Structure 1
């Protein structure tokens, strides 16, 4: 990415703000080095950020400040170098925090399945267990080497403590014996040049034999070593030397451990830095309510409620913009008055594109998408150079010529007032030609202009979309909103009037406009007023839509609660009836009645009063004629007619049965029942066909079970159900095979199958009727 583009779009200011959200110097430095990436890397960073947001919400881990270790780890690479105690203490602190981080990622609520990319970062380097164990054992919480680091160090320090106790005891005895308390400045021993001394008043220094090592700054106190402490101090010096040697052995040992696991230690430090940058991104997203943006080559520019990132960070009331292109469009040309926000729109598009390409969250609403851009070129501001003898127009042409061979379908070119530094007619013509050529290269363009010719061009070209910044029709103040598929007036005179230009100058300018015949301000103002009204109406419609959606969601939620409640009540009552029947409290007939009442709570038949019809007479019926049997809503063939009892024997898909004439209806040529079909009965039957029954055969002999199945199927047909369940158990499978053989030969059975595993598996068969 060109450095000039990054500067024009102020990408570095975003990175400075991001670095300020990091907790460590190493993390802040890594934030300042964030840059646009390849599409695959940018998507990976976006996914890493999304998972990091989820993890940070679940985990209780909070990253604390930690020192940078890069220089220290480079120092360790040399074989003869030894880390000092401060270095090891810093490394211990870093590893301790890294251990908390690793445990948090691996065991936080939700598990690593929720954030596999974070777990992958943890698994990339093995944990430096030996280094961590050595540092935790040898370096104490106070930053000092522990006595238990080695047996030799422990013995030496025990001797040092013995010397200290001996010195304290002897001094106390001598002071009491010779009444030296009056000569002492303080009642304690102290160290001077690693030797135990007494703080004596300077005017009594000749009263006691010994060696003066130093004086206080005021000169009132001298640090005096009595002769009886000389031998003990000499022994102490030898022990101190041994202690330093043993401590150095510990430092050499720990440095060797770290050197042997240097790659893992460096990986753990890099993980902390990476998580520091990740959490800084999360804080940045929280600061301007940002989100990870989708990058896709298949979608046009669609930034919903987008805000300029820097304005969103510094001005909480910054107004959102909808920056959108329709499918097939590649260029957005924005026009309108000065100070209306055209350049802000261009910078918003460019800066959001750079941030998305760098894996950073951006301040847009959900559902926003961005084309797959890999190159961004921004021509914003006055780029003239007096030292280089380059004018504004020349600078624009020079930089544009440099990108010409690089432009392709993955390129975004931002043009702010391109061609404004020369003759307006020629500048507008050149700008149109440049956009034409870039469109032929399939590049994307975002441009702002005041040229009338370029405004007309934006309205007439197929791949170009025109937009105008809106102004309040009454106050002429900018609304910082866009109206699409229209152009806007520059409103230079209104802006000049607002900023103090004399009225005489403005009236003279208006007269020149009238003389040239170029005063179209009235027409543009009318278009602006209509656009503002339209935007307000659209906003109102969106609010109404959101309100109705919210109401619908509440009603659906209420319906779901009522449905669950009703289902629970019916299930409880049905289980109670079955329990009473199994325990013998009620008869089989009473249980069926209770279940029928419970069923009515779920399915209420729609009762519509039928029109009065004459009773159906079987006298006109002939054998072989097709009639509709209303209770089953099926059509059958007449086999016999019994006129005396007003009934017929009818064949319904292989089932022959005598039926009453009142349950029959004529069938027209299309096979549809005639007007004698009772509406009430049909509605009731349709509701009841959704009720499934169950027969339990477990424990029965095969012959008894098959007899029960036959009666059960007949009863189900008469009850007009569409599906039943037969429980035969798993066992040896003999009963299941016999039941299936019966079902294959039963004429009214459409199909049967074993139940799903959660309903009984091969221990139950589900039967569907024709």
Structure 2
């Protein structure tokens, strides 16, 4: 594996987004991209993951965007299947690794943090290996896993020597374990001595009956007037001077010895820490890269959890810049209150002009388009519907001013125009431009003219534009210019409030007259105002009103058609269900007829078996050779062919289709079609073959001969011994296992088995009867001696059962 420095990786990411960052640095703040990053930050648990997020920028390279989105998609799949990749809280170890590189020693806490990185590496590896065993497909996850280096020996050494809190454990070295044992013994001896004082006759000289520490030595509190009673060393006194903390003479030597052990412990810990620090040096690059990959996984986890909470999706990438965000929502708004809208640009039109009054949601729509595009180009999931499409733009420009915000200072005409001039100097055919209230802040006629000129210039440069405006002149512009469409935000005149729904193809209109009328303004005043309007404006408003009425009619017809389609679909499903019922009933009737016929044939077979048996007896008694054994077998086979196969389940196309869709698993109850018997799946033994428990038998059955059925409650009782048959080819095994069976049942099964083996054409079979008491073996031998079809028999070879099995050869 080729490792690389974390600085190199971060630098590559920064370079990928360099163009967008340098030319359009303010776009991230304008569209509040950094607020989205703050939302994601709450899901991160590692310092490296936070570093990954800090350097996150929208990029314009197709392959980079694709890989980012694939990583997000992988993480969302892991979250759905297993609750996310197991990443614990991990601190940044970059400084630690720098220090050991120059020969410094790490403390216990720092080594514990590195140990956590190695432990997490092993846990993540194990976690992802389970997905590999299940053959779960991922786009990028396994590639990142391959970059992890396990380092098991180093991990075990650190884990045994350093605990989670950074304390050096007793297992770090035998010397340390011995020293700590001596410390414990010394402390115990000192305490026993001092406990004897504070609980004995000398306790009256103490100000308190307790043992405490001063200067890392055990002492007792003695009254000032009794300082000479105990001898020893005074280490401290109380603030009043009435109590002295004295180390009695009888424990001075013990304290000295304890202190020596403590110094030895400190030196041994320092030696261990130095040794462990040095052991990390050869693997420092691998450890650093492990930390980087874990940070990547943490960041992927955060994106997946962000997507889950926002019900976000991974958008499809459309390199032709056909943007279609289905039911898009602004990620920073309350998701329970925000109105979702279909936002599209690029395929049928490259410019969208949104008109209508204030507070209708025009600016939010503009910001939603820009922010979701930036999020997509940064590899983040977007709050939109499935199959949403994003484009790839080299630049995203925005002139969005909040007219109620004095701090932004973007509501004056001059500030707007300064931004617009800068945009026009940089824009190209791969740019997305967002203008809020284009041409506002000046004379309406001049502003409208400027807005049209700016839109024409952007159209000439083939840029993608979404602009909002109040000017009625731009409503006509949307009809006259190619690749341009009008849009508006719906307004409910009944409630006098906006619905925040985006209407593509319908320009906005002023609702002043209607609102005034509903608020009680005299109709004569409204009529007078209408007469003052020029004819063009009135015609335009009438045209917009007519369009809105037609849209509502179309919506009504659409809903009505959907209702008819739904009813037709239901009728179709009912017919399909009725047809299936009819087909199954027909097959059941056929099955009953076949079963009845089979009963008749079965009676005939029994009679024929009796006849054949009598013929054999006559032949044996008379010594005639006119009737050959193979002729008798052939006659019996022909009689068996008279039986009608009850294959109605096999021919039932509906059930067969359901069977193909069913994925079998161990424990399922199935119908073994060739035998029309219920069984239980035990284990898959091949690509298309299962081992099935069929009554007392275990059989190897092809998957195409199995039919899934509803489980039934099994009767309680002791588990019976089973025999194994193989259903591939003739459905008769070359071996019969009689062990554990009653004597009469075993001989009856042996009789049936030999007939079946002869009909299958086997020259030789094996009967497993076990050793036991020998009764079953003797019964088998007696039966084989009397069977006219048996040529000879003998014990099986030692490696095939010895005298626990018998090999039978047929004539």
Which residue of structure 2 lines up, in the alignment, with residue 482 of structure 1?
502
Q: Distance in 2 between matches of 1:116 and 1:389?
A: 46
Instruction: Please tell me whether residue 106 in structure 1 is matched to residue 129 in structure 2.
Output: yes
Pick closer, same or farther for the CA change 1:63–1:384 going to 2, 3 Å: same
1:21 counterpart (28, 43, 46):
43
- Alpha-carbon offset, residue 351 of structure 1: 0.8
- The aligned runs of 1:53-132 (5 Å cut-off) are 53-59=76-82, 63=86, 66-73=89-96, 75-108=98-131, 111=134, 113-132=136-155
1:230 counterpart (241, 252, 272):
252
Q: Distance in 2 between matches of 1:224 and 1:119?
A: 66
1:140 counterpart (160, 163, 183):
163
Tell me if the contact between 1:201 and 1:221 (Cα under 8 Å) persists in the aligned partners: yes
Tell me if the contact between 2:376 and 2:382 (Cα under 8 Å) persists in the aligned partners: yes
Tell me if the contact between 1:106 and 1:119 (Cα under 8 Å) persists in the aligned partners: no
Which SS does the other structure have where 2:336 is aligned?
Answer: coil
Pick closer, same or farther for the CA change 1:31–1:549 going to 2, 3 Å: farther
Tell me if the contact between 1:574 and 1:598 (Cα under 8 Å) persists in the aligned partners: no
User: What TM-score comes out, normalization by structure 2 length?
Assistant: 0.65
Pick closer, same or farther for the CA change 1:82–1:496 going to 2, 3 Å: farther
User: What TM-score comes out, normalization by structure 1 length?
Assistant: 0.68
- Alpha-carbon offset, residue 412 of structure 1: 0.7
Which residue of structure 1 lines up, in the alignment, with residue 272 of structure 2?
250
Q: Distance in 2 between matches of 1:550 and 1:193?
A: 89
Once the two structures are superposed, what CA deviation does each residue of 1:575-616 show, in whole Å capped at 9, x if it has no partner?
997998999889758856734995997599xxxxxxxxxxxx
Tell me if the contact between 1:413 and 1:445 (Cα under 8 Å) persists in the aligned partners: yes
Which residue of structure 1 lines up, in the alignment, with residue 492 of structure 2?
472
- The aligned runs of 1:268-417 (5 Å cut-off) are 268-298=290-320, 300-311=322-333, 314-325=334-345, 327-381=347-401, 392-404=412-424, 406-417=426-437
Tell me if the contact between 1:331 and 1:463 (Cα under 8 Å) persists in the aligned partners: yes
Which residue of structure 1 lines up, in the alignment, with residue 796 of structure 2?
none
Which SS does the other structure have where 1:304 is aligned?
Answer: strand
- Alpha-carbon offset, residue 343 of structure 1: 1.4
Q: Distance in 2 between matches of 1:565 and 1:218?
A: 105
Tell me if the contact between 1:419 and 1:431 (Cα under 8 Å) persists in the aligned partners: yes
- Alpha-carbon offset, residue 515 of structure 1: 4.9
- Alpha-carbon offset, residue 558 of structure 1: 9.8
- Alpha-carbon offset, residue 350 of structure 1: 0.6
Q: Distance in 2 between matches of 1:70 and 1:167?
A: 42
- TM-align CA RMSD: 4.5
2:476 counterpart (451, 456, 473):
456
Moved more, 220-229 or 39-48: 220-229
Which SS does the other structure have where 2:488 is aligned?
Answer: strand
Pick closer, same or farther for the CA change 1:318–1:510 going to 2, 3 Å: farther
Which residue of structure 2 lines up, in the alignment, with residue 527 of structure 1?
547
Tell me if the contact between 2:45 and 2:90 (Cα under 8 Å) persists in the aligned partners: no
- Alpha-carbon offset, residue 433 of structure 1: 3.0
Q: Distance in 2 between matches of 1:415 and 1:143?
A: 56
Pick closer, same or farther for the CA change 1:106–1:532 going to 2, 3 Å: same
Which SS does the other structure have where 2:554 is aligned?
Answer: helix
Pick closer, same or farther for the CA change 1:478–1:172 going to 2, 3 Å: closer
Once the two structures are superposed, what CA deviation does each residue of 1:686-725 show, in whole Å capped at 9, x if it has no partner?
xxxxxxxxxx999xxxxxxxxxxxxxxxxxxxxxxxxxxx
Which SS does the other structure have where 2:499 is aligned?
Answer: strand
Pick closer, same or farther for the CA change 1:390–1:59 going to 2, 3 Å: closer
Q: Distance in 1 between matches of 2:585 and 2:165?
A: 62
Q: Distance in 2 between matches of 1:564 and 1:131?
A: 66
Tell me if the contact between 2:594 and 2:646 (Cα under 8 Å) persists in the aligned partners: no
Which SS does the other structure have where 1:96 is aligned?
Answer: helix
Q: Distance in 2 between matches of 1:111 and 1:603?
A: 31
- Alpha-carbon offset, residue 47 of structure 1: 0.6
- Alpha-carbon offset, residue 425 of structure 1: 3.1
Pick closer, same or farther for the CA change 1:526–1:166 going to 2, 3 Å: same
Which residue of structure 1 lines up, in the alignment, with residue 626 of structure 2?
none
Pick closer, same or farther for the CA change 1:433–1:237 going to 2, 3 Å: same
Pick closer, same or farther for the CA change 1:545–1:598 going to 2, 3 Å: closer
Pick closer, same or farther for the CA change 1:565–1:285 going to 2, 3 Å: farther
Once the two structures are superposed, what CA deviation does each residue of 1:710-767 show, in whole Å capped at 9, x if it has no partner?
xxxxxxxxxxxxxxxxxx99xxxxxxxxxxxxxxxxxxxxxxxxxxxxxxxxxxxxxx
- Alpha-carbon offset, residue 244 of structure 1: 1.1
Which SS does the other structure have where 1:594 is aligned?
Answer: coil
Q: Distance in 1 between matches of 2:605 and 2:95?
A: 79
Q: Distance in 1 between matches of 2:526 and 2:352?
A: 35
Tell me if the contact between 2:176 and 2:265 (Cα under 8 Å) persists in the aligned partners: yes
- The aligned runs of 1:656-735 (5 Å cut-off) are none
Tell me if the contact between 2:329 and 2:338 (Cα under 8 Å) persists in the aligned partners: yes
Tell me if the contact between 2:78 and 2:85 (Cα under 8 Å) persists in the aligned partners: no
Aligned residues: 604
